[in-house]
Chains A and B, each alone.
Chain A
Amino acid sequence: MPDTFWFALEVTLNGLMAGVMYALVALGFVLIFKASGIFNYAQGVLALFAALTLVGIMEGQVPFSHLINAVFGTSLHHIGFKVPALLAILLTAGVMVILAVLVERYILKHLVNQEPIILFMATIGLAYFLEGLGDVMWGADIKTLDVGLPKGISDTIEATTYDLFGYGFFIDKLDIVAALVAALLVTTLTLFSQYSKQGRALRAVADDHQAALSVGISLRFIWVLVWSIAGIVALVAGIMWGSKSGVQFSLSLIALKALPVLMLGGFTSIPGAIVGGLIIGMGEKLFEFFIGPLVGGATENWFAYVLALVFLVFRPQGLFGERIIERV
């Protein structure tokens, strides 16, 4: 076998792994869209906010220290002790739940029955707000996040594949962990929505708001629940992305990458988010590998969007989306 073939295969594998990361962000979108019909642009910023909060808690930073220092002329920065990773993750999850409650109480409650586009714009506003809030709370500098996940190139895989095919595959351990976590997350979410009482209520709301209300399901509770879950999914995505490339503003741009993933998979399908993520991740890496050098590289910036665009022209509802029926 020629080396290019193995190299292309390696690129494909790495693309699939990157796709899993996109899918993690896309999952949060799908959850909220299914349950409330809201296209939540803020999902990426939620991930950024979660990662910032996690780092802040782990490092023992004083929240809003920058602002407090500017107003009162003090020089606070750290509490002085570090919080263990697991406890910090739990605390951050708590923060995300509180955030979900606040979002429901101060934004969504007031926007019931508005057009979807208005709700979409509101989440853009929320994204800006959270981005500013995260920076004011924890500072805008690039932070490293280390919760003890394995990192770096896996030597075992390289050695094994070298023995088998005469070509060692470079695969990041973190990507493998991400794939496992994503699989776990999807299984848990599926089990939750299929078998638990709240999960069934959630699906009922997704089916028909008014019918759900009429059988006594509290819409407000379901919304808090679904935003909490989305917040926790965002936390997982934030941990993965933060460990991979540091916690910084560009993290929130990943949300934009998740959009074509969603379009491919269809807005309403959890498996769609995963499959879409894999296709996009693999497609953009392969395109960059084969076509990229011909046109000057950095095609990853736009390939996903163009792929989704072309795809949608032929199948407007995505791969697994519900069929669009239009009536006057």
Chain B
Amino acid sequence: MLYREAGDFKTSYGADSQTFPIRFDRMRYYAVLALAFGVVPFLINDYWANAVFVPFLIYAIAAIGLNILTGYCGQVSLGTGGFMAVGAYACYKLMTAFPEVSILIHVLLAGGVTAVVGVLFGLPSLRIKGFYLAVATLAAQFFLVWLFNKVPWFYNYSASGQITAPERTIFGIAVTGATTPAWAKYLFCLVLLFVLAWVARNLTRGAIGRKWMAIRDMDIAAEIIGVNPLTTKLSAFAVSSFFIGVAGALFFSVYLGAVEVGEAFGIQKSFLVLFMIIIGGLGSIFGSFAGAAFLVLLPVFLKNVLVGQLGWPTDLAAHIELMIVGGLIILFLIAEPHGLNQLWRVAKEKLRLWPFPH
């Protein structure tokens, strides 16, 4: 009743192949966009931006990136943290080397650099499969973090070994640095997320996305029907790393401002993003958003309840949080291996029949 597919007729090929063919979906999409672009920037304050919105937007980009590689192309990667570090350091080097160029271009270029690195570390995927590949990507994770720690050129020989984002502006408004207004951070990340999610959505439903999924479902069969595993796998690595690199660049320049590589981009980050796409749903753009939102909100929520309401010590709350996250992952895998995305699909089915379920 509420969610209808019937009566929605298409009269042209263009209308038939649009991203959201059902009117309700389309309306919902526009409503979310209007809310995100038109309402939130006026209400946002520093706490909400730093605790919820900016991390959510950045992790959503990273989750979409990993979902392309793991969810769509079936190549499990534990190197997300390392690739985010590549994006962050590339962005830092570009920002300090070419201060007159726009930060937007730097962030995109940082994504490009990460894509190149991603393809390099993706090369073994042509020989190594499954778990073996997952472990092989750990090599990227540890090697890259070590590299950024040990080679002073990457952090411009600063004494602390940290990298700190200088102030950069777009249209005269600071988006990085200490004086950035909350809404500027938010909008900058939102615009990038919007564009990248749009690109991801259209890539995954086009020819290249179908090739990725063919490789994921059965690589040998895909090869036999003429999908080139070399270009398919490497393109997945490239696109995925581009997204993750952009996320890393934003994470460093907009969100944190100053970064110590082992702390910000350690192995924990790789797992966090992996959990996001598992909880959200493998092979779904919506799932990446849902998973990122869930895992960004959960610690904030738990902290507010355990520390704020019950008055427990913070370290205890952190341990309980670990238990809850672990428990939830297991629960999700048992109850709904396809994640939040599947729950949303089921909800839509119910809405379609409501209020006459038979």
Q: Determine the chain B residues whose CB is within 8 A of the CB of A131 once the complex forms.
A: 322, 326
Q: Does A9 contact B (CB under 8 A)?
A: no
Cβ A136 vs Cβ B146 within 8 A:
no
A27-40 vs B, CB cutoff 8 Å, 1 = contact: the mask equals 00000000000010
Q: Does B99 contact A (CB under 8 A)?
A: no
Cβ A306 vs Cβ B139 within 8 A:
yes
Q: Determine the chain A residues whose CB is within 8 A of the CB of B269 once the complex forms.
A: none
Q: Determine the chain A residues whose CB is within 8 A of the CB of B221 once the complex forms.
A: 328
A1-32: which residues lie under 8 A (CB-CB) from chain B? none
Q: Determine the chain A residues whose CB is within 8 A of the CB of B275 once the complex forms.
A: 124
- Count contacts between A and B, CB distance < 8 Å: 139
Q: How far is the CA of A256 from the CA of B271 in the complex (A)?
A: 13
Size of the B side of the interface (Cβ < 8 Å), in residues, is: 51
Cβ B329 vs Cβ A128 within 8 A:
yes
Q: Does B22 contact A (CB under 8 A)?
A: no
Q: Does A152 contact B (CB under 8 A)?
A: no
Which A-chain residue is minimally distant from B315 (CB atoms)?
A140
Which of A128, A316, A327 is packed against the most chain B CB atoms within 10 Å? A128
Q: How far is the CA of A39 from the CA of B20 in the complex (A)?
A: 39
Q: Does A289 contact B (CB under 8 A)?
A: no
Cβ A132 vs Cβ B337 within 8 A:
no
Name the distance in Å between A45's Cβ and chain B's nearest Cβ: 10
Q: Does B34 contact A (CB under 8 A)?
A: no
Given A263-B132, A305-B135, A312-B124, do A132 and B330 touch, yes or no (CB 8 Å)?
no
Interface of A is mostly: helix
Given A107-B334, A122-B329, A127-B326, do A316 and B132 touch, yes or no (CB 8 Å)?
yes
Name the distance in Å between B278's Cβ and chain A's nearest Cβ: 5
B314-347 vs A, CB cutoff 8 Å, 1 = contact: the mask equals 0110011111111111100110010000000000
B184-218 vs A, CB cutoff 8 Å, 1 = contact: the mask equals 00000000000000000000000000000000001
Cβ B142 vs Cβ A305 within 8 A:
yes
Partner of A128, one of B310, B311, B325, B337: B325
Given A70-B312, A256-B267, A305-B136, do A129 and B327 touch, yes or no (CB 8 Å)?
yes
Cβ B323 vs Cβ A129 within 8 A:
yes
Q: Does A164 contact B (CB under 8 A)?
A: no
Interface residue range, chain A: 35 or more
Q: Does B308 contact A (CB under 8 A)?
A: no
Q: Does B143 contact A (CB under 8 A)?
A: yes
Partner of B136, one of A67, A124, A298, A312: A312
A46-82: which residues lie under 8 A (CB-CB) from chain B? 66-67, 70-71
Beyond the given A67-B316, A305-B136, please list 20 additional residue pairs across the A-B interface where CB-CB is below 8 A. A70-B312, A70-B316, A116-B131, A118-B333, A120-B134, A121-B329, A122-B334, A124-B275, A124-B329, A126-B330, A128-B325, A259-B138, A263-B136, A297-B150, A302-B139, A305-B139, A305-B142, A309-B139, A313-B128, A316-B127
B residues whose Cβ falls under 8 Å from a Cβ of A: 76, 124, 127-132, 134-136, 138-139, 141-143, 145-146, 149-151, 218, 220-221, 224, 267, 271, 274-275, 278, 310-313, 315-316, 319-330, 333-334, 337
A-B contact pairs, 15 of them (CB 8 A): A107-B334, A121-B274, A122-B333, A125-B329, A126-B326, A130-B326, A131-B322, A132-B320, A135-B322, A260-B135, A305-B142, A308-B136, A309-B136, A312-B127, A328-B218
A residues whose Cβ falls under 8 Å from a Cβ of B: 39, 66-67, 70-71, 107, 110-111, 114, 116-118, 120-122, 124-133, 135-136, 140, 253, 256, 259-260, 262-263, 267, 295-299, 301-302, 305-306, 308-309, 312-313, 316, 326-328
